[in-house]
Amino acid sequence: MIIAFTFVVFFCFFTSVLTLTPATQVILRCVPFNKRDMAISLTAATTRIAGIIPGRLLVGYVLDQACISWSTECGELGSCKVYNRWEVARNNTILLLSQTIVCAIAYVLVLVTYKPAGGTVRNTSTGQKTDLNSGNEDVANSGSIHKDIQDNGNGTSNGTGNTQV
């Protein structure tokens, strides 16, 4: 039983840490350059406010549910003296699995509902343009939000004169 518990806990921790870099990449790719620092700051603040603080309260509640014997101080209920190990392991595993499932559902919803901002993007390797509103390639040069950099065949770029292969 300990092997299954260890595997589930490792899987939950691994998947929660696995999403840190992609989440930062999403912010860097989706937010305009001049607002990236604010977006990363707000993400960090939101994570702490909506995740860390309630998470500690939830873990405390889960531990309290597994308490066998409470201490009494001045006639009032004090801290827990003895925990049921099986219930602590089970309750923490359920909490970790539910967190992982909620995060997976949120990532799928973002993947399904995200629509990129309008504009035209040029693929530098193929030279094709993609209109982000319609998905059509080879859009006319007018209305492009990026400067055209065309390879003139000898490895230099005639758009800026700085690029060499």
* Residue-range domain boundaries for the chain: 2-113, 117-165
At 47, the amino acid letter reads T
Q: Please write the tens of the pLDDT for every residue from 60-106.
A: 999 999 999 988 888 888 888 999 999 998 898 898 888 888 888 98
Q: Please write the tens of the pLDDT for every residue from 59-73.
A: 899 999 999 998 888
DSSP 50: I
pTM of the shown model: 0.57
Structure tokens at 84: 């049921």
pLDDT values of the chain reduced to their tens digit, one per residue, 165 residues: 778 878 888 887 887 777 778 788 888 888 888 998 999 999 889 888 888 888 889 989 999 999 999 888 888 888 889 999 999 988 988 988 888 888 889 888 888 887 766 655 566 667 666 655 554 444 444 444 444 444 444 444 444 444 444
Strand partners, 69: 82
Contact call for residues 146 and 120 (beta carbons, < 8 A): yes
